[in-house]
Amino acid sequence: RLTEFHNLQELRQSASLANKVFIQRDYSEGTVCKFHTKLPSELDSRIEKTLFEDTVKTLNNYYAEAEKIGGHAYLEGCLACITAYLIFLCMETRYEKVLKKISRYIQEQNEKIYAPRGLLITDPIERGMRVIEISIYEDRSSSGSSTSSSTTSSSGR
Amino acid sequence: MKNCEYQQIDPLALGTPASTPTSTQCAKNKSHRPRRKWEVFPGRNRFYCDGRIIVARQCGVLPLTLGLIVVTSVLFFIFDCPFLVTHLTICIPVVAGVLFLFVVITLLQTSFTDPGILPRALPEEVTNTERQIDNSGSVTYRPPPRTKEIIINGEVVKLKYCFTCKMFRPPRTSHCSLCDNCVERFDHHCPWVGNCVGKRNYRFFYTFIVSLSFLTSFILGCVITHLTLRSQGDKGFLQALQESPLVVCFFSIWSTLGLSGFHTYLVASNLTTNEDIKGSWSTKRGEESGNPYSYNGIFRNCCAVLCGPMPPSLIDRRGFLPPDVIPRTVASGSELHPFMAKNDTNMCTQAPKKLLETVAHSSLVHSTCTSATPKTALVTQEFPFNSVSSMLSPSNTTQHPMDKACCQRGNNSKGPPYSLSHSPLICSKVPDVSFVPLLLLC
């Protein structure tokens, strides 16, 4: 059931938070920042698989670019070492530049793709780069949340 | 309010749009002044300069380290340099001065930089981790299994669940019990530096110990030269000895050189002290064929560790707290918890308008603060000596004689003669490790 919102403003005004989904980190290639691209089941009905995968893959590419060990990184590192790392005081590192790009990209994705579908992506940097948090919103006028499956069992252990 | 370990964001406490909560002190403070995130940081750290500088609460012997370095160098400049300049060359104090600056700057950077602390999981994330759906479709909440196995570059790696931070620790991350934080690429907690050494400040630490080795070797060499030249003259050897910082350098040179050698080995094989001590990757004696993080090349490993990109600080010390949300991250220090049942709708459904405003505001706040936050990581190099000296007790009473130092600079005045050993104060659960002879590892 797709709830239509036309933009983020409308989302804020008329929707209520129903659930949050967390996309975990993919450590198969080491400690580089990379997220799983598999669409979680809660979002199946909300967004097309390809769109979601594209978003996550683009984010992964951005992080790979930030953490790339190449000529530019060596230069930055050596220069920093020679100045006793004092250039970090004055200079914005490449990583920070890429993080800004990521922030803009997520904002853009939210506005164009996710908000119209009642979803909101939180920048991973706000969650310690551990998860991509996707908030699912329901139209306030619609009945209840999509995950009200709870039969809560008491602590009978 | 239920008696639970997790401090949930209570929907009722968020308040309705009309009312202003006046009963709580927090709310009062917030209405006067927006608070920064460092003020509610759950770990055992201290912050100075409005969150720009972070140090561990147990600063260890940082003032002593700094004092020894400064005093030794000053004595050298006062007593030895004039003689050597007249007899040899002006380069000597210049080189010593440059090395001294390097040492002090990198020491302070190591101490005041966030080592790579991971922020604790927020309540919704914790709920998500703990939610387990059993066969009958009912939802229960309980702590997840303690370890989770994943495969990294063909090697099986176990990720442990951190009960304090309520998350599965990323690979190479360890929880420092002194600082009560999970630190990425945790190397060790260095009492001499008064901070953990982790992903973000390892290069500062390495530069510090290498330049310190150079400095002590240089001073030692110059002083020996001085003594040699002088003892050819009128004064006796013993008198000359009293005037020089020879003794301090003599005792510290072994440990600093040894430590530098050890860490050079670690850098070349892309290992952390933690992993090396635990023997995580050595399948056979002396081999690290199993290290999945190594780039299989000494030069590449060195470049990756030392010249790699500088990751950002994840804890956003100087960011502002959203004004309406009472900051409730998971409680620290909680151990095993009894099984708790939680209602799904209580967990996830919040006062709609408030939360949306919060989300909107926090994304706004973050975007306005993004220009500010990069600078916070950069401005950690300010070193107000006042705050350094007021920082705290030099003696760390929890130290065993064995774990006296990670870089044993030599505290010759205190007694027992030096041993060629290096036993860093490692906080993750390492059994009592006896001395690891440095030379065997180099």
Residues B153-170 pLDDT 10s: 888 888 888 888 888 889
Residue B252 has pLDDT above 50, yes or no: yes
pLDDT at B308: 82
Give the pLDDT score at B137: 63
Same domain, B197 and B265: yes
Q: Which among A15, A17, A69 has CB closest to B350?
A: A17
B97 located within any domain:
yes
Q: Of A9, A23, A31, A105, which to mutate for an interface test with B (greatest number of B Cβ within 10 Å)?
A: A31
Using a CB-CB cut-off of 8 Å, the residues of chain A touching B138 are 151-153
What pLDDT is stored for residue B262 in this prediction? 92
| pLDDT at residue B17, rounded to an integer | 42
Q: Which of B66, B67, B97, B63 is nearest to B219 (CA)?
A: B97
Q: Are residues B343 and A150 in contact, defined by beta-carbon separation less than 8 angstroms?
A: yes
The one catalytic residue in B176, B190, B196, B369 is: B190
Q: Which of B356, B357, B379 to mutate to test the interface with A (most CBs of A within 10 A)?
A: B356
Residue B367 touches partner A, C-beta closer than 8 Å: yes
For residue A149, being part of any structural domain is answered with: no
Secondary structure element (H or E) that encloses residue B140, with its range: strand B139-141
**Interchain CB contact of B153 with A (< 8 Å):** yes
Q: Which of B41, B32, B128 is nearest to B348 (CA)?
A: B128
Q: How far apart are CA B192 and CA B107, in angstroms?
A: 10
Q: Which residue of B has its CA nearest to A67?
A: B309
Q: Is residue B352 part of a domain?
A: no
Provide mean pLDDT across the span B109-121: 89
Residue B139: which of A73, A131, A149 has the nearest Cβ?
A: A149
Q: Based on the fold, state whether residues B163 and B209 are members of the same structural domain.
A: no
Mean pLDDT, chain A, as a whole number? 80
pLDDT tens track for A5-16: 556 666 666 778
For residue range B305-364, list pLDDT tens digits in order: 888 888 888 887 777 777 655 555 444 444 444 444 444 444 444 444 444 454 445 444
To the nearest whole number, what is the mean pLDDT of chain B? 68
The answer to whether residue B202 scores a pLDDT higher than 90 is yes
* In-domain check, residue B289: yes
User: Cα–Cα distance between B166 and B143 in angstroms, integer?
Assistant: 9
B194 located within any domain? yes
- Residue B190 resides in a domain: yes
Residue B261 pLDDT: 92
B235 lies in the same domain as B89: yes
Q: Does residue B111 sit in the same domain as residue B159? A: no
Clarify whether residues B68 and B140 are in a common domain: no
For chain B, what is the domain count? Answer: 2
**Residue A1 domain-assigned (yes or no):** no
To the query of whether residue B190 is one of the catalytic residues in this protein, the response is: yes
Are residues B161 and B216 located together in one domain of the fold? no
Is residue B414, in this structure, part of any structural domain at all? Answer: no
Query: Is the full-model pTM beyond 0.80?
Result: no
In a domain, A102, yes or no: yes
Number of structural domains found in chain A: 1
> At residue B99, does pLDDT exceed 90?
yes
Chain B residue with minimum CA distance to A139: B352
Choose the final residue of a domain: B276, B307, B338.
B307
Q: Note the pLDDT tens digit of each residue in B42-87.
A: 888 888 887 778 888 777 788 889 988 898 888 888 878 888 888 8
Select from B307, B341, B361 the last residue of a domain.
B307
Whether the per-residue pLDDT at B398 is higher than 60: the answer is no
pLDDT per residue as tens digits for the range A28-60: 888 888 999 988 888 888 888 898 999 999 999
Q: Judge: B339–A12 Cβ closer than 8 Å, yes or no.
A: no
Residue B29 has pLDDT above 60, yes or no: no
For the segment B120-136, the average pLDDT, to the nearest whole number, is: 75
Say if B31 is an interface residue toward chain A (CB within 8 Å): no
Residue A84 lies in a domain: yes
Cβ contact (<8 Å) for B170 and A25?
yes
Interchain CB distance below 8 Å, B360 and A66: no
- Predicted confidence at residue B207, as pLDDT, reads 92
Q: Is residue A129 part of a domain?
A: yes
CA pseudo-torsion sign A138, A140, A146, A149:
positive
Does a structural domain hold residue A56? yes
Q: Is residue A98 domain-resident?
A: yes
pLDDT at B277: 84
Of the candidates A22, A31, A74, which has its C-beta nearest B172's C-beta? A31
What percent of chain B stands above pLDDT 90? 12
Please compute the mean of the pLDDT values over residues B126-132 and round it to a whole number: 76
Looking at the complex, does the CB of residue B239 fall below 8 Å from at least one CB of chain A? no
Which range, B28-37, B129-138, B197-206, B304-313, is most confident?
B197-206
Boundary-marking domain end, from B248, B278, B307: B307
Domain that holds residue A59: 13-37+46-137
Does residue B184 surpass a pLDDT of 50? yes
Q: Is the pLDDT of residue A129 over 60?
A: yes
The answer to whether residue B357 is domain-embedded is no
Shared domain for B114 and B129, answered yes or no, is: no
DSSP three-state, residue B360: helix
pLDDT at position A108 is: 92
Residues B303 and B209 placed together within one structural domain of the fold: yes
Q: Which residues of A touch B11 (CB under 8 A)?
A: none
Point out the residue among A66, A126, A150 whose CB comes nearest to the CB of B366.
A126
The nearest alpha carbon in chain A to B170 belongs to A31
Indicate whether B355 belongs to any domain.
Answer: no
For the cut 50, the answer to whether the pLDDT of residue B396 exceeds it is no
Query: What does the pLDDT average to over A98-104?
Result: 92
Q: What pLDDT, on a 0 to 100 scale, did the predictor assign at position B136?
A: 61
* Whether residue B154 sits in one domain with residue B76: no
Whether residues B258 and B297 fall in one domain: yes
Q: Are B110 and B136 in the same domain?
A: no
When pLDDT is cut at 50, 70 and 90, the band that residue B260 belongs to is very high
Residue A157 is assigned to a structural domain of this protein: no
Domain range for B150: 120-169
**Same-domain pairing of B100 and B232:** yes
Averaged pLDDT for residues B221-249: 69
pLDDT for res B429: 40
Q: What is the pLDDT of residue B32?
A: 64
Which own/partner pairs from B287-296 qualify as long-range (CB within 8 Å, at least 24 positions apart)?
B290/B155, B292/A30, B292/B152, B292/B153, B292/B154, B292/B155, B292/B157, B293/A30, B293/A31, B293/B152, B293/B153, B293/B171, B293/B172, B294/B269, B294/B270, B295/B270
